[in-house]
Amino acid sequence: MSNPQLITGIHHITAIASRSEKNLEFYAGILGLRLVKKTVNFDAPEVYHLYYGDETGRPGTILTFFPYEGLTNGRHGKGMLNTTSFSVPSASVEFWQKRLNHFNIPFKKPLERFNRELAIYFEDMDGLGLELIFNDNDPRTGYSGLLSESHCIRGFYSAEIWEEGYERTAGLLTEQLDHRLIAEKGNRFRYAATDQPGNYIDLVCSPDSLRGHAGSGTVHHIAFSTPDSGSQLELRNKILQRKLNTTPVLDRKYFTSIYFREPGGVLFEAATAIPGFTVDEDAAQLGEHLQLPEWLEKEKDSISGKLKPLTIDLTPYKE
């Protein structure tokens, strides 16, 4: 009998932005994701922490942002997760090209990858690298609040990490994080905990690239999903046995987390799939009001006073 997997796929990806209202317009408006949680950076509560995802913010759909108002741009490069890819239906290629053109978002011409998918690369207003991956292998239903089910984003497809060399990071993925190599071509090596959209990690060898540096338009960390606190602690022990520094378990209210850096420098997290985003809001009202962990509730008035009001009219973005 095989042991259950400690890692089941991607949980969320967290990036840095420069303006909260423009971030909301882009991801909830243009891309049609649902704002599932409006909270703050628990370590810097004067800064929003915005979570976007599907109807309920299931693991594998959650892109989150720390918007630091006026922050200068970072730089893509090796040692960073440079492209976050979303899964969309194959038949929606023309729709998305027209939509990106309508909102004056430049994009690269479609590129075929691994003979199994079509990718369109573009960037958000801060330069964060994004892709739409057109495929018919994703059984998930996306959030169709603004866009029809035939066009809307299903969740993540993959995450692309640039490395000096892939071998040590690949070793961590396969030996500690339950991934396996499922495809390779040229300098791109694809790993997954399960071979389906939402779980792919592409390691791209780019030794001649400059090292990336943090700032708006860059990814802060990628989180992998682990079922519960028991599997998280078991995983933490495996990471420590690999002689990597890892944090204690931290309470993020909607999940608990541990953090550690992979050999190439990217910050990895392992986050529990439970309890989820309905612990403090009903599913129908997700993202409508500022939510704080109980240890910050007594400071709610002070915190709210430091945050810009964050509401937009999504009507102009409706399909």
Range 9-317 has CATH code 3.40.50.300: no
Helices (H), ranges, the chain: 20-24, 93-102, 167-175, 229-241, 300-306
pLDDT digits (tens, 9 = 90+) for 272-288: 999 999 999 999 999 99
Confidence band of 116 (pLDDT split at 50, 70, 90): confident
Q: What is the mean pLDDT of the chain?
A: 96
**Alpha carbon 4 to chain centroid, angstroms:** 24
Mean pLDDT for 256-278 is: 97
pLDDT at 16 over 60: yes
Residue 189 in tokens: 């090596």
231 φ, ψ (degrees, to nearest 5): -65, -35
pLDDT at 147 over 60: yes
What residue ranges do the domains of the chain occupy? 9-317
State the amino acid at position 237 in one-letter form. N
Mean pLDDT for 42-69 is: 96
Q: What is the DSSP string of 245-258?
A: --PPPEE-SSSEEE
Query: Quick one: pLDDT at residue 3?
Result: 67
pLDDT at 112 over 50: yes
Query: Quick one: pLDDT at residue 1?
Result: 41
Does residue 213 sit in helix, strand or coil? Answer: strand
Q: What is the DSSP string of 134-194?
A: EES--------SSS-TTTS--EEEEEEEEES-SHHHHHHHHHTS--EEEEEETTEEEEESS
Residue 297 in tokens: 């509730």
CA distances in angstroms from 246 to 43, 205, 237, 269, listed in the order given = 17, 25, 9, 9
Q: Is the peptide bond before 275 cis (omega within 30 degrees of 0)?
A: yes
